[in-house]
């Protein structure tokens, strides 16, 4: 029995090795990448692909957003130079690999992989995927960086649901190692394996998940954040007290309220609603305080105020006057 088990183990290892070699063969072809959306996630995704030698077409409807994205990538590369992780030549090569476009049809021409990183809005994403599908090469893989929206639903508006997949990077993309790879209902094994291997080629650690609301990361994280907001809303404790308990008691590097500010309260609310609509379970209902803050434009770091206040150019944060 032990000999038989050893033979099976060796056969499985050989099959896995063949799969990885096949993926690496395809990976040599997958050198043209399109990134749709030049915001925080989009410019980070463009950064990591370009750093690893891929040619990147970064597309956004806003020329200003594209200029800001390239400037941000440049600053992040400068930090890496200061830490002696890369050279000036590496920076120049990375930036030269990124081209910018304002039209999807131009940005996806001739690419092997498209990674959509637009705002977390289902209607917007569906429109974008319809357009990508129309103009991208027939063999191109279409990935979404969505943090919660159904990959199966996105795939349904395309003519290639077997080639649609989730590729959920974490923020900040150049630093965070995880990529959550989400299989839609029709996503093939070949596409999944190739995206997993591509993620590894970026120096990331991919984790495969099936397509259910919130996937793994946000199905766990967002309810915790929402519960922290309820804890504040119900007067159990203040902002700093809640975050301190989670940092010192649970060894979290950042408290849930500060993390919500970092993610963006509008994004947290959108994911809460995806979970609530997807499961129909009242435990996922967004806290009224979260809804009110988003309505009032208090979105966290991006707006300058959420549970804390943020001063441009300063790392100092203070609890918002609304919660003192």
User: Active-site residue 218, yes or no?
Assistant: yes
Distance (Å, rounded) from C-alpha 108 to C-alpha 320?
Answer: 43
User: Active-site residue 180, yes or no?
Assistant: yes
The pairing of beta strand 55-59 with beta strand 98-101: parallel
From 116, 120, 180, 197, active-site residue: 180
User: Active-site residue 147, yes or no?
Assistant: yes
Distance (Å, rounded) from C-alpha 136 to C-alpha 304?
Answer: 38
From 76, 148, 168, 197, active-site residue: 168
From 76, 144, 147, 199, active-site residue: 147
- Positive or negative, the CA dihedral 107, 111, 117, 118 is positive
274-282's contacts with Cβ under 8 Å and 24+ in sequence apart are: 274/148, 274/149, 274/213, 274/214, 275/148, 275/213, 275/214, 275/218, 275/219, 275/222, 275/223, 277/213, 278/150, 278/212, 278/213, 278/214, 279/213
From 145, 148, 150, 218, active-site residue: 218
Point out the residues that are catalytic: 147, 168, 180, 218
């Amino acid at each position: 029995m032990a000999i038989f088990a050893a033979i099976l183990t060796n056969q499985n290892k050989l099959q896995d090795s063949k799969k990885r070699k096949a993926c690496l063969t395809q990976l040599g072809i997958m050198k043209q990448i399109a990134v749709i959306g030049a915001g925080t996630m989009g410019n980070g995704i463009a950064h990591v692909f370009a750093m690893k030698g891929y040619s990147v077409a970064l597309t956004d409807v806003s020329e200003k957003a594209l200029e800001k994205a390239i400037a941000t990538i440049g600053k992040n590369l400068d930090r890496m130079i200061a830490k002696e992780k890369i050279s000036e030549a590496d920076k120049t090569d990375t930036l030269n690999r990124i081209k910018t476009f304002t039209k999807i049809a131009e940005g996806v021409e001739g690419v092997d992989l498209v990674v959509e990183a637009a705002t977390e809005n289902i209607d917007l994403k569906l429109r974008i995927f319809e357009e990508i599908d129309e103009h991208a090469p027939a063999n191109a893989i279409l990935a979404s960086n969505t943090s919660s929206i159904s990959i199966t639903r996105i795939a349904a508006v395309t003519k290639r649901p077997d080639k649609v997949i989730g590729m959920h990077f974490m923020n900040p993309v150049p630093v965070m190692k995880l990529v959550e790879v989400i299989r839609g209902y029709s996503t093939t094994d070949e596409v999944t394996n190739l995206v997993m291997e591509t993620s590894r080629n970026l120096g990331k650690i991919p984790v495969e998940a099936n397509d259910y609301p919130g996937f793994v990361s946000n199905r766990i994280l967002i309810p915790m954040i929402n519960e922290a907001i309820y804890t504040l809303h119900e007067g159990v404790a203040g902002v700093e007290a809640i975050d301190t308990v989670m940092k010192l008691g649970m060894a979290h590097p950042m408290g849930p309220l500060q993390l919500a500010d970092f993610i963006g309260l509008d994004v947290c609310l959108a994911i809460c609603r995806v979970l609530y609509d997807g499961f129909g379970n009242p435990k996922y209902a967004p806290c009224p305080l979260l809804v009110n803050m988003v309505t009032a434009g208090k979105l966290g770091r991006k707006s300058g105020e959420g549970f804390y206040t943020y001063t441009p150019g300063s790392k100092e944060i203070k609890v918002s006057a609304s919660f003192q």
